[in-house]
Amino acid sequence: MTDREQVLLGKRIRDLRKAKGYSQEYLAEISGFHYTYIGGLERAQKNVTLANLIKIASALEVGVYDLFEYTKLNSSVDKKTSDIEKILEALIKLPNKDVRKIKDFVYNMFEDKI
């Protein structure tokens, strides 16, 4: 799991826990872990096994797959990243002088926002 995925998984666990009204301590108790482990997962400071994900999902009364639904939460970020990557691919194909012109245009157009 990448660092980004681990962060998103931790956020998803936190969101699901809070939606249930559970504290970290209560989630830890009903899933069989110490509360510091749950906190570490939520902050992406602990690695998690599939067996532990199953226990956490069960305690949250969701399927394991629901723990990975974080991609829907970040679809706008993913779309923006995809658009930026496409722009970069196009810029790489251009001569340096054209890239500089585009850079100047963008900075002038959005000078109050960047």
pLDDT bin (cut points 50, 70, 90) of residue 4 is: confident
pLDDT higher than 70, residue 30? yes
Q: What is the CATH number of domain 3-73?
A: 1.10.260.40
d(CA 38, CA 46): 9
Question: Does this model's pTM top 0.85?
Answer: no
CATH 1.10.260.40 in the chain is located at 3-73
* Each residue's pLDDT tens digit, 35-61: 999 999 999 999 999 999 999 999 999
Which residues 6+ apart lie within 8 Å of 6 measured at CB?
44, 47
